[in-house]
Amino acid sequence: MAKLFQPTQAGDIALKNHIVMAPLTRNRSPGAIPNDMNVEYYRQRATAGLIITEATAITHQGQGYANVPGLYSKEALDGWKRVTDAVHAEGGKIVVQMWHVGRISHTALQPNGGKPVSSTNRIAKAKTYLVNADGTGGFTDTSEPRALETSEIPGIVEDYRKAARAAIDAGFDGVEIHGANGYLLDQFMRDGVNDRTDEYGGPIENRARLTFEVVEAVTREIGARRTAIRISPVTPSGESYDSNPQAIFTHVVEGLARYDLAYIHVVEGQTGGERDYRQGDNPSFDYKALRAAYEKAGGKAAWMVNNGYNRDMALEAVETGAADLVAFGKPFIANPDLVERLEKNLPLNTPDQSTFYGGTAKGYIDYPLLEKVA
């Protein structure tokens, strides 16, 4: 049996294979509360070595899209407990991706219609997803944010800590801190977004400060070996940019090496796009050098890769040691039994892109399993 399909370990989380279901926003949790459909969706995909949930807001302020789940109400946590119980009953493992969107939001989604918060007060040329009064949904421009006051930042760190504790209490096997794709932590890390002049802006060390404070708080609360983080060094999502991504993200992974984390989740290239994507005049990002820097600094977490991996690429990455875990996104949308299809090298269902965001069971929990394929 190929190594990809054999058991492995990510920190304290024992996995039955090296295949990971990537976080996938689906906008099917009205009121930020996981429901029966969500329970079934994740249950169906429990053969993955690890499921990473769709991005889940740590607070109401952290919300950026309509009908995405949260970790900040009793009803939401009760809903997530049903999800984790269902996944565990099928022998699966599941972690929650903890999300604060920062400026990628809209006043309609914020407490009391307030401005979204960020490292900056500059609006992102980006879109968010809202639901209209008639129940239809669509994408709209994000709202103007406000820069967080320095005095507010400890409260943000505390929000992450509380959310991590709530996640473990709801039965999750661990948490993944969302530090990627142009959301709040990424907005602090990148100099193309962060224009602050306090201790959270300017030099690389300052721009990475919030990420390290969050990691410190979360690992203290639930343990490092149940904590992970996702980064996307060059993806332009949320109009994010850095003049020297190799430098900032090398500093970040060297700092993360201080913690005995479960895994580091690295998006290679442009999320959902070019794997060799480069920003502006920057040279191609060197992911091998990034991992080497992490390991040289003493890091031992599992190394998870993501973005456009197919069966052959995944087999090679794990067999050669280039990666410990491989995350699949869109293939898991249309193939609840993706692991079996990959192992047997069988054809994959094609995802219906029109049902990706919002909607009903169609394109969510009705894709055929192998035994039901004619």
Which amino acids are annotated catalytic? Answer: 183
Dihedral pair phi/psi, residue 83, rounded to 5°:
-65, -50
SS3 per residue for the chain:
CCHHHCCEEECCEEECCCEEECCCCCCCCHHHCCCHHHHHHHHHCCCCCEEEEEEEECCCCCCCCCCCCECCCHHHHHHHHHHHHHHHHCCCCEEEEEECCCCCCCHHHCHHHCCCEECCCCCCCCEEEEECCCCCEEEEECCCCEECCHHHHHHHHHHHHHHHHHHHHCCCCEEEEECCCCCHHHHHHCCCCCCCCCCCCCCHHHHCHHHHHHHHHHHHHHCHHHEEEEECCCCCHHHCCCCCHHHHHHHHHHHHCCCCCCEEEEECCCCCCCCCCCCCCCCCCCHHHHHHHHHHCCCCCEEEEECCCCHHHHHHHHHHCCCCEEEECHHHHHCCCHHHHHHCCCCCCCCCHHHCCCCCCCCCCCCCCHHHCC
